[in-house]
Amino acid sequence: MDKKRAIITTVVFLLLILGFGIFHLILPDAEASRSERRELAQSPELSSDTIFSGKFSGELESYLLDQFPLRDEFVSGHKLLRYYVLGQRGLDNMWLQGDSAFESDTLKEAEVQFAAQGIGKIAATMPEGVKLYYSIIPDKGAFAEDQGQPKMDYDRFFAILDEELPENITEIPIWDTLSFEDYYRTDLHWKQENIYPTAQALAQGMGAQLQPFESYKANTISPFYGSYFSRSGKPLKPEELTFMTSRFTAGCKVTGKDFSGIRQVYMPQLLNGMDGYDVFLSGVQSLITIEVNNAPVKRELIIFRDSFGSSIAPYFLGAYSKITLIDLRSPVDWWNYVQLSNQDVLFLYSTKILNNGSALQFMTKP
Amino acid sequence: MVFSGATFLYAFLPLTLLLYFVVPKKLRNAALMVMSFLFYAFGEPVYVVLLLISSLSDWLHSLFIESHRGKKSAKVALISSIMVNLGLLGFFKYADFLIGTVNSIFGLAIPLTGIALPIGISFYTFQTMSYTIDVYRGNVKAQKNLVSLMTFVSLFPQLIAGPIVRYIDVEKELTDRKSRWEDVGLGIRRFVLGLGKKVLIANLLGEMCDAFQKSSEQTVLYAWLYALGFALHIYFDFSGYSDMAIGLGRMFGFRFPENFDHPYISKSATEFWRRWHMTLGGWFRDYVYIPLGGNRCSKAKWLRNIFVVWLLTGLWHGAAWNFVLWGLFFGVLLMLEKLFLGKLLEKLPSVISRIYLLLVVVLSFVLFNAAGVKDAFVTMGKMFGGAELSNSASLLALRNYAPILLIGAIGATPLPKLLGEKLGKAKIFTVLEPVLLAAVLILCTSCLIDGSFNPFIYFRF
């Protein structure tokens, strides 16, 4: 190597390693990454304990990587390399159809059995006047084109449900009301503005009447980073999140087991939190109740649900005067919050949750 | 601390370079020594003591040997020095292996020590031993300056994963070395290319191997992908590290010995070991094989010498039976090649001898990377038809990792080096080369920031 080339090489190299090092020191540290939906490592504590335990070195490395200048751009660079240069697909079980990411699961029979048996046990505790329904929300991957991804055996999935669920639970099919485009590009969830037909199918199945779609107003906020955003294997653009308001969503009282006071149906300020989908009914809540002021009917609905339920439940306001949503993934003594008599009870779960049925670990009444 | 970590690349290295070139020349060894101890202490603060013990022991023993040259006490001092180093290595690396073996043979339940293996102990004990032995042999003079000796022992570029640099290799440079732009530039080139080998190739292949080992769908196709992938992974991981070490050494004015010379183009196991981990092979040749008599003795003794060297080579790589078997596997192959197979391979078309070499090396690394001997044979069984031929998971792995396997396969030949040398002569590369190296560094950084798979295989030795 001649001297001129050596000097240029050295200067460029030093500029990079020193430059990034100095920028790292100067730039303020971020607390969290919205795009990755996680808290970022902070400057580690320097003490004899942390040094001698080896904790300091590990935490310093995490801190430097998490707070690296232009972190998001570097992350995109890595994805571009893998997606376009190496042509890698399906890493971390993530796939892409256009710019829309989806996950592809294979059937876990024991998990589905566990979930279905749990639902059956809850159904068995219900008094006679209660009307029981269940509906299964297809995973986005169910509508994806074949790219060689692992396939979920949905026939077997539903066969297990048929075998395990008691006969007094009526199925309300909703698959025909949905398509791949009804889900967020960067997230596993459905878009509220697209699922009115789904809500209508559910309402009809339970003999209820929704307010007309025209009575809703679309409210759009951005940017929304879904849970697939950072896992997708390809740099994606953030998207908009729309929530549908009506006089019923505005005029109701939302209370919950996990928080005090009264909240709104929609919490737009939570868009900037770890999970932007928390905008709908404050996200993961073990038990939440919505009571409609001046409801045209006096009718009560109880939904055993996962996070998909948060965005569809607001469509039922007006058709029901009180809706209780119960999430069995969190510890919840729901039986102390509802007086069962003649309610509609809907078990509304996504295939993803039932296929990981052990997540519904708090199904059993002690 | 690893070379391919943000702490090293963007904190330790710039600080060390600044410190090294800012301090007066006579303090440069001290600066390197301090930073090297900091480098080691960053990952293993307690075990710095071992490094100090080993350095002090060899410094004192060597001074004693030199002042008692030709006397019996010099030999006693040499043995004492070797015992200290082997004692450290034996206790920290092999105690639990020995206890476990005794327990399983005699049905005992002697509790294991549970002591963690100090990083790089196999490397630095070999380096310090070679120093004292060379002083005893009169090949080098004992270093009177403790700082200079400790700089040699602790020198961070080669401290924890080699190459095994002998004192004789850097004796002059320890006291008189020049810092030229050309050396720094060449060092940076070698370091960045090594980083690229490690992060852009080895880590991706390692990810595939990791996925195979965790998979419940290990087909014939997947097992072969794993075996080929691991052979390339370990090469790019270890040779990448060696390149980084050699490059770093060059930046500071040292010329470390080469450790790899395209081993996968070899036509026999004998040739492979002349090209793979050359500093370890050289160490065993000079300090074990030749002192035992080498090949200048009876055939039986010659075969015994080969057996001993390869038993030790296996043990050096790890305190487990699969490493012992791995070493002996090569020992047997080398014996066969020396007895008759070598001549046969020479007569065969080179494509056949290359296939032979690749096959035995790939299989040997399946044994090397297995959780145990049984595990290795299970994987080999799958490679040779003991599983479903293929399925969607293995086809997906093929699709995702075929490009990197191909890049690795080509990269393991001398072609990229030849191409680089040819293109590098063009004038435009005066500017283009620094830009390309910067691009590699940035790409590696992006992989490190977004990735999680970044272990060094040879750290466990």
Chain segment A56-68, per-residue pLDDT in tens = 888 999 999 999 9
* pLDDT value for A179: 97
SS (H, E, C) B391-424: CHHHHHHHHHHHHHHHHHHHHCCCHHHHHHHHHH
The rounded percent of chain A whose pLDDT value lies above 90 is 68
Q: Which residues of B touch A13 (CB under 8 A)?
A: 188, 192, 434, 437-438, 441
For chain B, what are the domain ranges?
6-177, 183-460
* Res B453 pLDDT > 80: no
Output the pTM of the full model: 0.86
Compute the count of residue pairs across chains A and B with CB atoms less than 8 Å apart: 134
Q: Which residues of A touch B401 (CB under 8 A)?
A: 88
Contact assessment for residue B238 and residue B458, using Cβ atoms and an 8 Å cutoff: yes
* pLDDT value for B30: 93
> CB B185 to CB A87 under 8 A?
no
pLDDT band at A83 (very low <50, low <70, confident <90, very high): confident
More confident residue, B424 or B36: B36
Q: Which residues of B touch A57 (CB under 8 A)?
A: 1, 7, 42-43
> CB A2 to CB B182 under 8 A?
yes
User: Hey, is B453 helix, strand or coil?
Assistant: coil
> CB B192 to CB A13 under 8 A?
yes
- Catalytic positions of B, please? 317
Smallest CA-to-CA distance from A89 within A36, A23, A149 is with: A149
* pLDDT value for A147: 87
> CB B450 to CB A12 under 8 A?
no
Contact assessment for residue B371 and residue B379, using Cβ atoms and an 8 Å cutoff: no
Per-residue CA distances from B82 to B125, B133, B151 (Å): 9, 8, 20
Query: Using CB atoms, which residue from B13, B392, B404 is nearest to A86?
Result: B404
Contact assessment for residue B140 and residue B174, using Cβ atoms and an 8 Å cutoff: no
CB-based burial of residue A154 (10 Å sphere; 0-12 exposed, 13-18 middle, 19+ buried)?
A: middle
User: Hey, is A302 helix, strand or coil?
Assistant: strand
The b/e string for B207-219 (b: 16+ C-beta within 10 A; e otherwise) is bbbbbbeeeebbb
Please compute the mean of the pLDDT values over residues B117-146 and round it to a whole number. 92
> CB A4 to CB B430 under 8 A?
yes
A230 to chain B: closest CA residue: B450
Mean pLDDT over each residue of chain A, to the nearest integer: 92
* Res B332 pLDDT > 90: yes
* Res A151 pLDDT > 60: yes
Highest mean pLDDT among A151-165, A221-235, B440-454: A151-165
Complex ipTM, two decimals?
0.89
Other Cβ atoms closer than 10 A to A2:
10
Residues ≥6 apart with Cβ < 8 Å to A62: A41
Find the radius of gyration of the CA atoms of chain A: 24
From CA A346, how far away is CA A170, in angstroms rounded? 9
* Res B458 pLDDT > 60: no
> CB B449 to CB A75 under 8 A?
yes
Contact assessment for residue A292 and residue A334, using Cβ atoms and an 8 Å cutoff: no
Which positions 308-347 of B are in contact with A (Cβ < 8 Å)? none
Please compute the mean of the pLDDT values over residues B111-133 and round it to a whole number. 90
From CA B444, how far away is CA B9, in angstroms rounded? 11
Chain segment B219-231, per-residue pLDDT in tens = 999 999 999 999 9
- DSSP-based helix, strand, coil % in chain A, nearest 5: 40, 20, 40
* pLDDT value for B456: 57
pLDDT band at B373 (very low <50, low <70, confident <90, very high): confident
Interhelix angle B220-251/B181-196, rounded to 10 degrees, is 160
DSSP assignments along A155-167, one per residue: HHHHHHHHHHS-T
Contact assessment for residue B192 and residue B247, using Cβ atoms and an 8 Å cutoff: yes
Structure tokens at B310: 């390869």
* pLDDT value for B461: 53
From CA A287, how far away is CA A289, in angstroms rounded? 7
Contact assessment for residue B55 and residue B20, using Cβ atoms and an 8 Å cutoff: no
pLDDT band at A295 (very low <50, low <70, confident <90, very high): confident
Q: How far is B316 from chain A (nearest CA, A)?
A: 26
Chain segment B255-311, per-residue pLDDT in tens = 999 999 999 999 999 999 999 999 999 999 999 999 999 888 888 899 999 999 999
From CA A344, how far away is CA A323, in angstroms rounded? 10
Structure tokens at B20: 């090294």
Instruction: Give yes or no for B433 touching A (CB within 8 A).
Output: yes
User: Hey, is A79 helix, strand or coil?
Assistant: helix
Q: Which residues of B touch A4 (CB under 8 A)?
A: 430
Q: Which residues of A touch B396 (CB under 8 A)?
A: 89-90, 148
Strand partners, B185: none
> CB B42 to CB A57 under 8 A?
yes
Which positions 17-76 of B are in contact with A (Cβ < 8 Å)? 17-18, 42-46
Chain segment A186-244, per-residue pLDDT in tens = 999 999 999 999 999 999 999 999 999 999 999 999 999 999 998 888 889 999 999 99
Locate all alpha helices (DSSP H) within chain A, ordered by sequence.
3-26, 48-52, 55-66, 71-80, 109-124, 154-164, 196-205, 247-250, 308-312, 351-354
Helices (H) and strands (E) in chain B, counts: 24, 0
For chain A, what are the domain ranges?
3-70, 100-359
Question: Backbone phi, then psi, for A193, in 5-degree steps?
Answer: -70, -15
Query: Using CB atoms, which residue from B181, B400, B442 is nearest to A3?
Result: B181
The b/e string for B225-253 (b: 16+ C-beta within 10 A; e otherwise) is bbbbbbbbbbbbbbbbbbbbbbbbbbbbb
Q: Which residues of A touch B443 (CB under 8 A)?
A: 77, 81
* pLDDT value for A46: 87
